Amino acid sequence: MIEEIPAAIRFLRVNVPLRKQHRTAQGSEHLRDVILVSWLRQDGVVGWGECPTLSFAGYATESTEVAWQGLTTELGPQLMLGNSILAAGLIASTAALADASLDARLRSEGRALVEELLSDSSESPLAQTAGEARCLPRCVVIAELGAPLSELADLALAAAQAGAAMVKLKIAPGHDLEALRAVRAAAPDLLLAADANGSYSDLDQLRAVDALGLAFIEQPFSAELTWDELSQLRAKMETPLALDESLVSLDAVRSAALAGAVDVVSIKPARLGGMKAAASAVEFAAAAGMDVFVGGMLELGIGRAGAAVVASLPGCNLPTDLGPSSQYVKQDICEPIDVNLAGELIVPTGPGIGRVPDESRLQQYGVDEVILR
């Protein structure tokens, strides 16, 4: 939710090379083409948000090009006029604006994001976590679809040695059973899950994977399926069903729970409307008895910082997909998100989301900029 009309908004498009190609059933990325939103309040305080879209319309959000056009020619100008900015198809764009506005307000008040999110919660006393540095168990995602089995095994072993609590392998028909077996053999003590990104057309394709005793299978079927269809498929599965791309809003989380269509909820703030909406989804899902984790969207440091705070909320009972900045990029646009010696993710502290971009890196990686006043 946008809380005030800003004095100015700055949109920056940056291209940051990934350490290695990210390959899933939806597509591949070798570069993070990301939009940052700088929100200047009337009192002069600046806040930041990130729109972590992909070059293709993935994770049930718009593509980066669509987001850029939407932010700079539609949402931004309307916002400066004081008009509503709800726009169909611009999910992550709207969330980035909401997050930048929230970050600016919290910085103006000298408050941290975790304080805001916990103060909204009915589940946890603020004193339990506000202001405390927290470290979170991690799930390392192996997004190397189609890679040789030996490479997958090496990645799983490296994850175990780095302190991961879980490994999640990206799968698709024809790239599943043997790959999962190789990962399990390499890291038998780790929890193992799979993420299909909606690539299976029916349960028969998934039978062998379903029999492996995984922690969960994430989004095996299309996000276009109805809740009733997903509920029927879930009833026939042995493995807990996690939903990701199907959950595009807090209302979707509620509908999936009501229909009995989900066991595990993947929370992605940029897809649910921003960090406040994501926190509400965490609280609802946990209260409904579902397992919850915060999934990653290949965010840079600004988006990763906010998502890490959401992942630290009491309702998140499974390891987060979020990893350190160094796992994805050689140099982040801000102080990197890091892990401790045990391999746990260190949740940022400080005013707002706890991170601000380094202006020199914005100049280094920037490819476009629009300022609205």
Please tell me the number of Cα atoms within 13 Å of 229 on its side-chain side.
11
DSSP 45: -
Annotated catalytic, 168? no
Pull the structure tokens for residue 304.
């990763």
Annotated catalytic, 236? no
Q: What residues pair up with 31 in beta bridges, in sequence order?
A: 17
Phi and psi, residue 100, nearest 5° = -65, -40
d(CA 47, CA 41): 8
Residue 82 region, left (φ>0) first, then alpha (ψ -120 to 50), else beta? Answer: left
Helix (H) or strand (E) holding 141: strand 139-142
Catalytic residue among 20, 168, 268, 276: 268
Q: Taking the alpha carbons of 13, 41, 112, 123 in that order, is the dihedral positive or negative?
A: negative
Catalytic residue among 20, 168, 170, 276: 170
* Rounded to 5°, angle at Cα 328 from 117 and 160: 85
Q: Give CA separation, 272 vs 96, 102, 168, in Å.
A: 11, 15, 22
* Helix intervals (H) in 187-265: 203-210, 227-235, 250-259
Q: How does 261-281 read in b/e, with b if 16+ C-beta sit within 10 Å? A: bbbbbbbbbbbbbbbbbbbbb
Pull the structure tokens for residue 112.
């941290």
Residues annotated as catalytic are 170, 268
